[in-house]
Amino acid sequence: MNDQTIERTEKKYLISASDKQRLLKSLKQYLKKDKYFSSTVCNLYFDTKNDDLIIASNDRPFFKQKFRLRSYNVPKKSDLVFLETKTKLKFKREKMGNKRRLALSLKDFYDFKNHKTSLEKLFEDSDFRNLEIAKELDYAFNFYALVPKIIIIYDRESYAAVEDPDFRLTFDSNLRFRTDKLNLEQGDSGKPYFSAEEPKPVIMEVKTLDAMPLWFVKKLSDLKLYPVPFSKYGKIYNQLKKGK
């Protein structure tokens, strides 16, 4: 696994704030705060004009793919952002995720988006892997005619296992979105996804290269926490469609 290509299985859980605190308290000896422990994750998702990718994804196929631009906190034009393609392949009962990404300035992304340059051109002096991903994303944006669709934002806490660098645990709260002002630098405001009338759940995500460690599985069992299918983009898309 490297910074450009990340392969892992992912499981999501919708838990209460109190369950989150109980879980973290019981795992103090196993977890440490991640290097980027606290951040506001801002995502701009791309799709075809007719939303073909998210419609296909919501049908839970064996293979699905998403494209997004991500920043950690609200960026300025000179700040680093990540252009990503995220795929999931269903294998037996598990879903293996693969994320390939390019790190570039927001200004360079706009030059690419406005057809002033290509990703291949921007990364022509980079290493082979970056150049390979750049060509892949150039092709995908042209083939699908991808356009900005929605910005999805949440506040994240990230943990890593003390003795297992491939195990990560994240907690996302205050999930919100907007379908206007589709530029990441325009702030982190948005409409809440979860109803204000009910306690808002925390989205816990477990990311691991192999099976979850036994100490973690035991704690999940003790607290009776079970995985659920939850795609942020997919859920918000469905909510928007119901509101029409």
The boundaries of the domain holding residue 238 are 5-242
Q: How many whole angstroms separate alpha carbon 136 and alpha carbon 131?
A: 9
Q: Structurally, how many domains does the chain consist of?
A: 1
Tell me the mean pLDDT in the region 23-29.
Answer: 96
Residue 1 — very low, low, confident or very high, per pLDDT cuts 50/70/90? very low
Q: What is the CATH number of the domain that holds 219?
A: 3.20.100.30
Pick the more confident residue, 239 or 1: 239
Residue 3 — very low, low, confident or very high, per pLDDT cuts 50/70/90? low
Placement of tokens 């990340």 in the chain: 6
pLDDT score at 91? 57
| Helix or strand holding residue 103 (H, E) | strand 94-105
pLDDT score at 116? 97
State pLDDT tens for residues 196-217: 767 889 999 999 987 899 999 9
pLDDT score at 62? 73
State pLDDT tens for residues 77-98: 999 999 999 887 765 555 567 8
Q: Where are the alpha helices (DSSP H) in 114-242?
A: 119-122, 128-144, 214-223, 232-242
